[in-house]
Amino acid sequence: MSKAVVLLSSGLDSTVNLYEAHQDVGVALALFINYGQRAALREEQMAKASCEHLGIEFRSLDLKFIADLGGSSLTDSQKKLATNVEIDDLEASKISAKNVWVPNRNGILLNVAAGFAEALGADFVIPGFNKEEAATFPDNSQDFLDAMSESLGFSTANQVKAKCYTTGLLKPQIYRRALDLNVKTQFIWPCYESGEEHCKQCESCQRFYRAKAEA
């Protein structure tokens, strides 16, 4: 039977992909990566809670060197996060995307996860991507996943593939899928910050709460 290594940030997309993979192919490991992001503490807590609920093996990995690459408000507390973004305005979203862009983050994370997948004999690495954000984040797209799969075919002995259940879906569709899967939504952490509650002002919170309302 196929197995997967899931990159789990505890956001809506990765959590839904965890549940989908759990039902579809089975999850050999859920991997949380601390790359120095502001929300790391809360993300890890929630990711671990989802895995405990599903009985999935969980591992947290420290890759804080990624923060040293600089340039992102997600990893540099001295940089101001973009808040209250006009999320239906493509140009405003592009500016926000530049504000939070972490150099080659998804490329690095997927390659690390693929190493674990190969070692565990798993066939897939599964991130949480979506169609909505692929408009401003090219590393959220199906084209990126296809290119990663082609690359991993050379770099892993068992030809691990990159797979995602939500690349073709908008956020409201993903939230509805979460309800269908009986996802424990209290364990979702969509916020770029690591406070006691969601800030509800960062772009990630804005998209999450709009999706929830529309779903």
As a whole number, the mean pLDDT across the chain is 95
Question: How far is residue 9 from each of residues 77, 98, 177, 190, 191, measured CA to CA in Å?
Answer: 19, 20, 18, 9, 11
Looking at residue 95, its amino acid is: I
CB 104 within 8 A of CB 71: no
| Helix H or strand E segment including 50 | helix 40-54
Q: What is the pLDDT of residues 73-87, one digit of tens each?
A: 999 988 998 888 888
Specify the pLDDT at position 185. 96
Cα–Cα distance measured from residue 24 to residue 110, given in angstroms and rounded to the nearest whole number: 20
Report d(CA 37, CA 77) in Å as an integer: 9
pLDDT at site 81: 86
Q: Where are the beta strands (DSSP E) in the chain?
A: 4-7, 27-34, 58-62, 124-126, 161-162
C-alpha to C-alpha distance for 189 and 197, rounded to whole angstroms: 9
pTM recorded for the entire structure: 0.95
